[in-house]
Structure 1
């Protein structure tokens, strides 16, 4: 497929890559976040182009893959996910027909029994409506493993933040794309399969990181009352409080990076609080 490159950021996930890489229908760039196992070898044997990093950049590693890709569109996948047959070709058709749309989020099916991903179900409710010119419900968030982006728009927006690492890193990019005037849409006819790995997962650490990133994203792009509300909500759990403390340590270094989004984008984001 000449219009799309799939970018996968991974670390120490050789078994997952053995299962997923052979299912992709487009060229794959694997960005290896300083793995200690044989992840790079597995990716190379599967035919992927591999970029080995000396340290773990987290989600920002995807930016390097997008920079190296020579295609108009970039589809992201995790090491434990893959796009359904025909989905990428259809995504290209949709994006070609909607030049004001920078990102499409696919419908995600989880596991062998193909359970609908709750985030996909929330997008299907169309809380932001279906504006004219978009190919589906408007969104201000997505799951990275199910997104295809217009490469130039993605890079112009700065890609994924190197501050957030992993865990809820998508919202900041969504806000930046919307602030730049791009449309983002949910396209349920596109399907991604996700078989979540259980390797090395720490639910408490994940919740702490997500709480931290919600706060940092709010600090970077939202008005101060929204930051205060999110900080107050974090106080309700141990992981939330830990995430709040983690975020507070980083805020002084991010003072110059604070750029609140335009009022229309913030109004749309505020509407999602109910969902």
Structure 2
């Protein structure tokens, strides 16, 4: 990975300043509390519009663009239009792992993540910071994602909210997962996590991250006040993408969940492979990763396993009771973010 030239921003980015006396009698204003990181690849129109919205926010957050090897004019145009924005480039498409280098550059207490078609509403980041400050046990806030006119909530948000097991003592419903393209992370937790696993970068990376966050004793919360807008996109998964998502979900289960849950996830993956008429190739790919996966096996604590099972049961009920919402969720895909 190569960082962009100096014209796209300083290496360290803005640093928070304490409120101590500066020596001249004036008290320095505190610096920004949250950095926004935007993941993009070959969506020059969307990323320019999104960065323009983010740089105009009243919170004035530092903005870092994590470019996943764009071959269009994304990098050059951003550098010329937004010289204050830091651009981090990779040589290819690393999926969710494309966030990782940008994470290392953040110098604020919190990091807000979005993709090139998603932007945070004015005041939403301040609301997120306040809630994270007030609840140090919360590591991740999942934003409420709506269309530009705020009339339609993203199906993944509806599913997360509908399957939450509760949220006593938290600033919102507790979650067993989060949308990687619409969340606010506590930076210290993110660094301890080590970012997203590159082998799972095109599906399952946030699933593994959520299990590790919960296993470390932190909470993940759905936050209505952390409002984000998303440009409507029609995204249809290919056969290979469907199989990769199912395979990676099974890998995550083998890495973090008890045998019963891992076997169930494997069964679900095989069913997807069969529906996609790719049982042989996809099944071989699943098996080929077994050694890598089992070397990383570390079963999550009992309370985390219980939470994942509760959410899984709730998802089944939602799919059975509200098939239209479940279909929209399947098409948009929480894991597709």
> Under a length normalisation based on structure 2, what TM-score does the superposition of the two structures give?
0.76
* Cα distance in 2 for residues equivalent to 1:185 and 1:23: 25
* Cα distance in 1 for residues equivalent to 2:220 and 2:115: 20
Q: Is the 8 A contact 2:141 2:223 kept in 1?
A: yes
Please tell me whether Structure 1 or Structure 2 has the larger radius of gyration of its CA atoms. 2
Q: How does 1:12-31 map to 2 (within 5 A)?
A: 12-24=42-54, 25=57, 26-31=61-66
Between 245-254 and 63-72, report the one with greater CA deviation: 245-254
What corresponds to 1:270 in structure 2? Answer: 309
User: Are residues 1:97 and 2:134 paired?
Assistant: yes
Q: Which runs of 5+ in 2 are unaligned?
A: 1-30, 316-337
User: Are residues 1:248 and 2:287 paired?
Assistant: yes
Shift of 1:111: 5.8
What corresponds to 1:80 in structure 2? Answer: 117
- Counterpart pick for 1:177 among 209, 213, 220: 213
User: Are residues 1:159 and 2:189 paired?
Assistant: no
Between 95-104 and 32-41, report the one with greater CA deviation: 32-41
* Cα distance in 1 for residues equivalent to 2:151 and 2:104: 33
Deviation readout 1:174-231 (Å, 9 max, x if unpaired): 11000001111111122111114458x6443332221122111111111121111111
Q: Is the 8 A contact 2:143 2:182 kept in 1?
A: yes
Count of residue pairs the alignment pairs up? 273
Q: Is the 8 A contact 1:112 1:195 kept in 2?
A: no
What corresponds to 2:247 in structure 1? Answer: 212
Between 159-168 and 64-73, report the one with greater CA deviation: 159-168
Q: Is the 8 A contact 1:17 1:42 kept in 2?
A: no
* Cα distance in 2 for residues equivalent to 1:41 and 1:166: 26
* Cα distance in 1 for residues equivalent to 2:150 and 2:218: 35
**What is the Cα-based RMSD across aligned positions, in Å?**
2.0
Q: Is the 8 A contact 1:63 1:155 kept in 2?
A: no
Secondary structure (helix, strand or coil) at the match of 2:98 reads: helix
Shift of 1:159: 1.8
- Counterpart pick for 2:78 among 43, 53, 58: 43
Shift of 1:23: 0.8
- Counterpart pick for 1:145 among 167, 177, 181: 181
> Under a length normalisation based on structure 1, what TM-score does the superposition of the two structures give?
0.92
Distance 1:111 1:84, change over 3 A: closer
Deviation readout 1:67-114 (Å, 9 max, x if unpaired): 101111000010111011110011001100111111101111146674
Shift of 1:158: 2.0
Deviation readout 1:253-274 (Å, 9 max, x if unpaired): 2322111101111011111112
